[in-house]
Chain A
Amino acid sequence: DGGITQSPKYLFRKEGQNVTLSCEQNLNHDAMYWYRQDPGQGLRLIYYSQIVNDFQKGDIAEGYSVSREKKESFPLTVTSAQKNPTAFYLCARSIGDRSEAFFGQGTRLTVV
């Protein structure tokens, strides 16, 4: 699994509900990322974190929130403020600058 686990793989929620996507890594890496992938578009960065208790907004942070209370965990909450939440969400880890990103299996969120 590349040392990073996302759960669940598929998630269905009703419109207006908040939902939290899990991301855990077991390789003690500092940097973790959340991306969103939509058909025909490149991955877009939602949030990233390089150390515990610190995180930065990416290009499309509106309607999302994260926490980084422990090094191994970086959960993403999709709030009711996100206007178009149905997408494929990918969590990634990296060793640091100039290193490749390793992705979790992804969570496909469908909001109905």
Chain B
Amino acid sequence: GQNIDQPTEMTATEGAIVQINCTYQTSGFNGLFWYQQHAGEAPTFLSYNVLDGLEEKGRFSSFLSRSKGYSYLLLKELQMKDSASYLCAAMDSNYQLIWGAGTKLIIKP
């Protein structure tokens, strides 16, 4: 079957760095997406990886290893506004997104 796993909750300190991991198993693979979702709001797109390696975009970076079925989202210089859920989604061979349950990130001062 198809499956996405990510931690349920993580806690980090303002100004620090946090890494949110995601492992996936899909029928075929057409890329890995990360989204940010604040409580009560819709998800917003953060990043897309289809090739192995690290993609950096400001304070956020995303890494992909296709051979390991593994991705992570790295958030640097954490700010209180980064408190949100982070959703990992893998695109299968039919171009459909398989979603993880999300990781709730709590930032403490």
B-binding residues in A (CB < 8 A): 40-45, 48, 58, 90, 97-98, 100-106, 108
**Contacts of B101 on A, CB cut-off 8 Å?**
40-42
Question: Which of A44, A48, A97, A103 meets B43, CB within 8 Å?
Answer: A103
A58→B89 CA distance, assembly (Å) = 16
| Interface size of B in residues (CB-CB distance below 8 Å) | 24
Please tell me which one of the listed residues A45, A58, A100, A103 contacts residue B42 in the complex, with CB atoms under 8 A apart: A103
Identify A45's interface contact among B8, B48, B91, B96, CB under 8 A: B96
Question: Nearest Cβ distance between residue B18 and chain A, in whole angstroms?
Answer: 21
Report B38 CB to chain A, min CB distance, Å.
11
- Which chain B residues have a beta carbon within 8 Å of chain A's beta carbons? 4, 8, 30-31, 33, 40-45, 48, 50, 87, 89, 91, 95-102
Complex CA–CA separation, A40 to B8 (angstroms) = 8
- Which chain B positions have C-beta within 8 A of A102? 45
The distance from the CB of A88 to the nearest CB of chain B, in whole angstroms, is 8
Q: Are B87 and A43 in contact (CB under 8 A)?
A: yes
**Is A43 a contact partner of B45 (Cβ separation < 8 A)?**
no
With A and B bound together, what is the CA distance between A48 and B19 in angstroms?
Answer: 32
Contacts of B45 in A (CB 8 A): 100-102
